[in-house]
Amino acid sequence: MIQLTVNGKTYEVDAPADMPILWVLRDKLGLTGTKFGCGAAQCGACTIHLDGEAIRSCVAPVSRAVGKKIVTIEGLDDSLAKPLQEAWTEVDVPQCGYCQSGQIMAAAILLRDNAHPTDRDIDNAMTGNICRCGTYQRIRSAIHMAVTLKTSAAAVQP
């Protein structure tokens, strides 16, 4: 049995050490917000956070997560999730939506590390997440909007 911490909860999972984290999340824990895209770390649909880094869960063995904290789209902290969710809705980013979980997990890392990203920063941060519907321009707009929302939310807090 492997002990994992996912979105703040501890789980005991019966899985081989080399099983990709993605399949543990989806098939063992029922957390299906994280998507399977390519299975080779090429597309970014499976992006999750492992101790604060946006890893590709389709190639990362579950043994890598032992003793670390996994965060999936279902458990993303509100300080990042709320502005991103609101901006994504406002800009109407998704078309088919399949890649968007990974897109948002990647965008969250950008916003955490860079409070005021330029277009270039956004391109550098998001270029590894592929969208077959081509929503890139809307993703960029939504990230700018999320920055504004996040900044506004921070300003009104006591």
Partner 1 sequence: MKHVNLRIRPRKWILAILFLAGTGLSILGIPGEPTAIRPGETREMALRREAESKAAFESAYHVFMSPRCMNCHPAGNVPLQGDDSHLHTQGVRRGPDGRGLYALKCKNCHQDANLPGEHMPPGLPTWRLPPEDRPMVFQGKSPRELAASFKNARFTGFASIHQIIEHVEKDPLVLHSFTYGTRPPLEHGEFAAKVREWVEKGAVLPDK
* Residues of the shown chain interacting with partner 1 in the complex, contacts defined by CB under 8 A: 40-42, 44, 47, 53-56, 59-61, 64, 105-107, 109-110, 113-114, 121, 123-129
Q: How far is the CB of 141 from partner 1 (least distance, A)?
A: 18
**Residue with smaller CB distance to partner 1, 41 or 153:** 41
The amino acid occupying position 93 is V
Kindly tell me which of 124 and 137 has the beta carbon lying closer to partner 1: 124
Among the listed residues 108, 42, 29, the one whose alpha carbon sits nearest the alpha carbon of residue 73: 108
- The token pair at 50 is 């492992």
Mode of pairing for the β-strands spanning 9-13 and 69-71: unpaired
Six token digits for residue 121 = 């920063």
In whole angstroms, the minimum distance from the beta carbon of 94 to partner 1 comes to 18
Q: How far is the CB of 137 from partner 1 (least distance, A)?
A: 16
**Taking CA 91 as the corner, what is the angle to CA 89 and CA 94, rounded to the nearest 5 degrees?**
65
CB of 114 to partner 1, least distance (A): 7
